[in-house]
Each structure stands twice: as C-alpha cells, then as structure tokens.
Amino acid sequence: MLKDIDEMLLTSEKKRENLIPILQRIQQRHAYLSPDAMKLVALHLGISSSEVYGVATFYNQFRFHPPGKHQIKVCLGTACHVVGGDIILENFERKLGIKDGETTPDREFSIERVACVGCCALAPVAVVDDVVQACMAPSKVEGILLGFDIERERDEREKQESEASQ
C-alpha cells in the first residue's frame, strides 16, 4: 500500500492545497488512511504529520481503520435521528464491541454513521453491505447480526466438509 501511495505522490504537486485531494485519492484506492500513509503525505508536502491528521479528522469523509468485510452504515440524518437512529447506532456498537468509525479486530464488521441516504420515509435506516434496511429497531439489529453468524457457521461447516472429503 505504501509503495503505491509513494508512486501516487510522485504525480502530485507539492502544494499544501493538494492535501485534501491527495487524502481523497488515497482513501479511494485503499479505503482508509493509515498513520503511515498520512506520514508519507506530510513528508511529501513538507508539513507535519499532526497537521495532516488534524485536517483529515476535521472532515468526516475520511476513515482511519480498514473497513470490515461487512460494512454497516447507520443513517443519522434528521429524519432518522428523530425516530431513534442514534439508538440503532448504539445497538450495533454495543453488539459488535466497537465504536462509530471502527472495525472489529477480526475485520468482519465496521460501523460508520452517515448523513441522509435518501430514503427518509423508511426511517430509521441502516445500510448493510449496500442493502438498505428499513424501519430499523433493536430487534432488527440483532436479527441482522444473527444472520451473519449463521452464514459464517455455514461457510465454516462447508469448508470443513470439503476438506474432510479430500
């Protein structure tokens, strides 16, 4: 990843105003900004790492952890917020043991809050692996995560069966 970023920086002018476009390009290609990536950008632009980090954290478009295999986005736009979007976010966070913007240690799940996803009539809304989940409730959070557990167990069983048959 760092080699790729290094090469990408060769084509970017060393101007302070290029900071955000550079960070956006890195995130587009690698899905998040690692501390080492931010250090490389700082070095390239001749500014401090803390300045790069400060700018990146100011905008909520940037993420600092690699995304999980399953990406959970909880809408906290106005329509979702007023009908308990924050309770849905809190439920996912509690069940997965991570906070908004983080990824579980096994890299299975990541959670992020997002602004309006354009289907306010279905509020509160979550988008799980690009599928809109309408009228979310705590029991639905449990159901979604249980579905992933069942899927994972089935995959493991199939893998074991196929290994045993070889």
Using DSSP, state whether 18 is helix, strand or coil.
helix
For the bound state, the minimum distance from the C-beta of residue 77 to ligand FES, rounded and expressed in Å, comes to 3
Cβ-in-10-Å burial (0-12, 13-18, 19+) of 49 comes to middle
Q: Which of 9, 77, 102, 136 binds ligand FES (CB under 6 A)?
A: 77
Q: Which of 1, 43, 55, 79 binds ligand FES (CB under 6 A)?
A: 79
- Tell how far CA 9 is from the center of its chain: 24
What is the secondary structure of 32-91 as a DSSP string?
A: S--HHHHHHHHHHHTS-HHHHHHHHHHSTT--SSPPPSEEEEEE-SHHHHHTTHHHHHHH
Q: Are 40 and 8 in contact (CB under 8 A)?
A: no
- Using CB under 6 A as the binding rule, whether residue 78 contacts ligand FES is answered as yes
Footprint on residues 125-144 left by ligand FES (CB under 6 A): 125
Q: Which of 40, 74, 89, 123 binds ligand FES (CB under 6 A)?
A: 123
Footprint on residues 7-36 left by ligand FES (CB under 6 A): none
Pairing of strands 109-114, 70-75: parallel
| Number of residues engaging ligand FES in binding (CB under 6 A) | 12
Q: Which of 55, 87, 117, 127 binds ligand FES (CB under 6 A)?
A: 117
In this complex, which beta carbon is closest to ligand FES, that of residue 31 or of residue 79?
79
For the bound state, the minimum distance from the C-beta of residue 78 to ligand FES, rounded and expressed in Å, comes to 6
Q: Are 91 and 138 in contact (CB under 8 A)?
A: yes
Instruction: Note the residues at the interface with ligand FES (CB under 6 A).
Output: 75, 77-80, 116-120, 123, 125
